[in-house]
Amino acid sequence: MFPYMLVNIGSGVSILKVTGQNKYERISGTSLGGGTFWGLMHLISGSHSFDEILEISKTGDNKNVDMLVGDIYGVGYDKIGLKATAIASTMGGVYRAGLSKKYEKKDIAASLLYMVSNNIGQIAYLNAQLHGIKRIYFGGYFIRGHKLTMHTLSYAINFWSKGTMNALFLRHEGFLGAVGAFIKADPSLLPSKPTHSRRGGSFTENFVVAKEVMMNVGKDKVDHPKGSVFGILDRVSSKLVPLPQLILSSKTKGGDSVKDQVKIDQTTPHTYQPDTLDLTSQKKLREYLIDTMNENVSNLVEMAESRKLKISTNGSSKPKEGSDIVAPESESESASASASVPELPLQTEAGATDKKEITPAISPSDRLLEFKNLFSSRLDTLLHEPAAYGKLTIRSILNLKEQCLQICGFRDLFFEIKQKETNDAIAVLPGLLSQLDQITDRRELVKTLLDRMIVGNMFDWGSTEISSLMVNHAMSFENAKSKIIYNQKLNNSDKLADKLAAHSSSSSHGDNDSYDHAVYNQAVIFVDNAGADLVLGVIPFARFLLRCGTKVILAANSLPSVNDITCPELTDLVLKIAEFDSTFQKSIENGNLQVCPTGSQGPCLDLSRLDERLVNRCPDADFIVIVGMGRAIHTNYHATFNVDCLKVAVFKSRLAAGAMGVDLYTGLCKFTPASLPTRHK
């Protein structure tokens, strides 16, 4: 990303050139900034609040006070590269129309905003040219996600650069100065300081309680926001850091191509973006997803009303005392994990506090209806303003759903279902392991294990298509297997089977729990659903790796999401399996099997933001396994690694399947050898 230029717009403007992680200098600035805009508007209109002035400017028309190019030239202005609507003179139209005429505040505000923003944009571009910089970021509390301001700055950069450069914006640009002042007051916050390693915590944005920028149309307000929505920042007790094996950037575009009409969220040179699809500008896909999510929520309510879903507000179980297979919790996380859901007031679309609070005193069924109404209102916002909550992706919508559930008191809606399905799967696991142990051909064994992982991933309550089958008990392992479609382009399991089989002969020491010649030193397996998916699909494969001498880390969600298993639940499960399986028992005793939290609280996965306890335990991992549609298709489909990687999932969503050009229920079992990226200099 280096070098880049940061244009920080506050009362005035400071322009900084950043050439490295800790290398920067102030190269220019101007006194023409947010203070200029605010001060002039106060003198002209008497307005006191900066927010009020920005709100007024949204509906203003600068053409009523400015002199435009078309007013001067009439025709032929295109010959000098100008448009008729370009501003020739800020407020120059006032004396042409007659000095005695009265002008509206909103038109004056729009004119002044254009004046300040256009000049800042030109100054920024000239400095970028002077220093040979191609990337310009705009920040500062003057912007505040205001569409007109951002559009004007973007237009200025695009105009002066003749389309060769774009203006870039930060989502929370207003915090730049505050964070800088905070770090200046306490330098120990810097990553390079020794005390930094003892500090914990990261932030996520919560859009359930949010300040939404509204659009006025005349005297009436529209029913949904126009512009950005700023959520509250929730603190995550653990630090979130990138997976060491993840290739964050390279000169080679990674991943497989999909249909041309689908906008894939990728850049060239390749930069890691967790999301496969950017739905912000994909109207048909966006509408289909929102309709599907509304249907999914309606099905939840119907299941609860028909008692097919026993509503649970319980949290995930805690690991057994004395267990050392799970990364130790920080003191703050331990406290937060056992705390009840906070009784936060809801926010209306205008950002005002709703008087009605959702508290545990309300019955579960009523709270489920509250959740439905709350989530539907947020989906309606996205339907009319796709970029309101930032970049719109499947992951962002699924995370929003989990936030709505949390605020309505549902910490783990599928807790009872997960417990039952996991216990049912454990009951048949010993017999399954015995059958697998009878397979002497290692290649056949690996193929069987991989096939079971694919089939197991069908058991997903988060899929609208699958949940209708599961709620009616029309889903068995054999039934699920019959639905899977195999596509050679998405299934090259033979390559992994050949590699593992070639090095996995029976132990010469007569030990039935191990094979000779481990192919991998350590594997990290990002697991998905509780029940059959994990127990009958992933666990046998993890057991095979352990018997090959490979250390295994099972990584699970830190917080509940649909029927995804959580880290505490996974710990309990592993200990139960160890009671009847010697491979698991020995692996726990010698430290070869560990369970770690991912730091995630949704069905998707951002590999650049993982719990540091997981990252600290896998610096030498040479095999990454990602399981599940949310983790391997909706996200990380194009992710590349400097070690071998296996992605296993089923296309259980019509949207994802259609976007990728495959059939519903197509299995994904993609083995990718280590990539060797060319890093940016």
DSSP assignment string, 330-398: PHHHHHHHHSPPP-PEEE-TTSPEEEEE--TTS-HHHHHHHHHHHHHHHHHHHHH-TTTTSS--HHHHH
Do the domain assignments include residue 352? Answer: no
Higher pLDDT pick, 643 / 221: 643
Q: Within 10 A of 681 (CB to CB), how many other CB atoms are there?
A: 4
> Would you state the pLDDT for residue 513?
65
The Cα–Cα gap between 196 and 188 comes to: 6
Of 547, 531, 635, which Cα lies nearest the Cα of 584? 547
Spacing of C-alpha 458 from chain mean position: 23
Do the domain assignments include residue 619? Answer: yes
Which H or E element spans position 209?
strand 202-212
Phi first, then psi: give them for residue 641, nearest 5 degrees: -135, 155
> Would you state the pLDDT for residue 531?
94
- Pair of tokens at residue 613: 């306890």
CB contact set of 542 (below 8 Å; sequence gap of 6+): 523, 525, 552, 554, 593
Do the domain assignments include residue 248? Answer: no
The Cα–Cα gap between 36 and 32 comes to: 6
> Would you state the pLDDT for residue 576?
97
Residue 237, pLDDT above cutoff 90: no
DSSP letter string over 621-671? --EEEEESHIIIIIBSSS--BSSEEEEEEE---HHHHHHHT--TTEEEEEE
**Which amino acid appears at position 600 of this protein?**
S
Residue 50, pLDDT above cutoff 70: yes
Residue 580, pLDDT above cutoff 70: yes
| Residue 642 CB burial class (10 angstroms; 0-12, 13-18, ≥19) | middle
> Would you state the pLDDT for residue 493?
93
> Would you state the pLDDT for residue 291?
95
Of 154, 175, 199, the position where a domain reaches its end is 199
Q: Within 10 A of 71 (CB to CB), how many other CB atoms are there?
A: 15
CA geometry: angle at 139 spanning 205 and 226, to 5°?
Answer: 60
Lowest mean pLDDT among 72-86, 232-246, 500-514: 500-514
Residue 27, pLDDT above cutoff 80: yes
CATH number where 512 lies: 3.40.50.10880
Residue 369, pLDDT above cutoff 50: yes
Of 150, 179, 199, the position where a domain reaches its end is 199
The Cα–Cα gap between 574 and 591 comes to: 13
pLDDT band per the 50, 70, 90 thresholds, residue 270: low
Domain interval for residue 611: 421-672
- Pair of tokens at residue 657: 């399947």
Do the domain assignments include residue 206? Answer: no
CA geometry: angle at 572 spanning 309 and 606, to 5°?
Answer: 75
The Cα–Cα gap between 469 and 213 comes to: 41
The Cα–Cα gap between 440 and 436 comes to: 9
Higher pLDDT pick, 467 / 139: 139
Phi first, then psi: give them for residue 231, nearest 5 degrees: -85, 165
The Cα–Cα gap between 26 and 34 comes to: 19
Residue 435, pLDDT above cutoff 70: yes
Residue 543, pLDDT above cutoff 90: yes
Average pLDDT of 17-22? 90
Of 146, 93, 90, 77, which Cα lies nearest the Cα of 122? 90
Which H or E element spans position 178?
helix 176-185
Residue 272, pLDDT above cutoff 70: yes
Contact 615, 607 (CB under 8 A): no
> Would you state the pLDDT for residue 211?
58
Longest dimension (CA), the chain: 103
Residue 183, pLDDT above cutoff 60: yes
**CA dihedral for 241, 242, 243, 244, sign (positive or negative):** negative
Of 354, 357, 353, which Cα lies nearest the Cα of 366? 357
Q: Within 10 A of 388 (CB to CB), how many other CB atoms are there?
A: 23
Of 199, 226, 253, the position where a domain reaches its end is 199
- Pair of tokens at residue 114: 């254009």
Contact 259, 656 (CB under 8 A): no
> Would you state the pLDDT for residue 328?
60
CB contact set of 307 (below 8 Å; sequence gap of 6+): none
**pTM for this structure?**
0.80
Average pLDDT of 385-413? 91
Do the domain assignments include residue 284? Answer: no
List the end-to-end C-alpha distance of the chain, in Å, as a whole number: 10
Torsion of the alpha carbons at 170, 174, 176 and 177, rounded to the nearest 10? 160
What are the tens digits of pLDDT across the range 593-620? 999 999 999 999 999 999 999 999 999 9
What are the tens digits of pLDDT across the range 316-331? 555 554 456 766 654 3
Residue given tokens 């050898």 in the structure block: 673
CATH number where 26 lies: 3.30.420.40
What are the tens digits of pLDDT across the range 461-499? 777 777 766 766 666 788 888 899 999 899 999 999 999
Average pLDDT of 403-414? 91
Do the domain assignments include residue 569? Answer: yes
Over the chain, what is the mean pLDDT?
Answer: 83
Do the domain assignments include residue 303? Answer: no
Average pLDDT of 533-552? 97
What are the tens digits of pLDDT across the range 313-367? 555 555 554 456 766 654 334 333 333 333 333 333 333 334 344 455 578 888 9
Q: 3-class DSSP state for residue 319?
A: coil
> Would you state the pLDDT for residue 554?
98
Do the domain assignments include residue 210? Answer: no
- Total number of domains constituting the chain: 2
Of 544, 388, 565, 601, which Cα lies nearest the Cα of 460? 565
CB contact set of 219 (below 8 Å; sequence gap of 6+): none
Residue 572, pLDDT above cutoff 60: yes
> Would you state the pLDDT for residue 314?
56
Residue 221, pLDDT above cutoff 60: no
What are the tens digits of pLDDT across the range 72-87? 877 777 777 788 888 9
